[in-house]
Amino acid sequence: METQMTTEYSIADAKNRLPALVHMAERGEVVRITRRGRPVAVILSGEAYNHLADGLRPGVWEVIQSFQERHQADMTEFMDFDLEDLRDRSTGRDAAWQ
C-alpha cells in the first residue's frame, strides 16, 4: 500500500473541507492538519490506518495478560507462597519530634 502524496490544511480549512479531505484520504493521499503551521493531526484511509495499527506495540494490559498466560504455573506457585513470614514486625526506630 503506497500513499500518493501529503497535503496540508489548517484546522479552519479542514473544517470547511472535511468531506473532500476524507475522499482524498480514501484515494491514498495523506492529509496533514496544522495549527499555526505546526502539524497536529493526520487524516488517512482506513486501509492505511489498519496497516499502521497492525504494527503497533501492545499496551500494558495486553503484555500483563500475555505474561500471565505464558507463566500460569509459575504464577500459581508464587501466589500460594506465604509472604507473612517476610514482614518485619518491629516498631522501627525511635525518632524525636521537634
Q: How much is the pLDDT for 73?
A: 60
| Cβ–Cβ under 8 Å, residues 26 and 19 | no
Domain with residue 60: its CATH number is 3.40.1620.10
User: Average of pLDDT values for 38-42?
Assistant: 94
**Top mean-pLDDT range of 12-16, 49-53, 77-81:** 12-16
Is the pLDDT at 87 greater than 80? The verdict is: no
| Cβ–Cβ under 8 Å, residues 44 and 31 | yes
Give the integer Cα–Cα distance in Å for 53 and 74. Answer: 32
Q: How much is the pLDDT for 3?
A: 43
Is 21 among the domain residues?
yes
Tell me the residue range of the domain where 20 lies: 1-81
Q: 4 by DSSP, 3-state: which?
A: coil
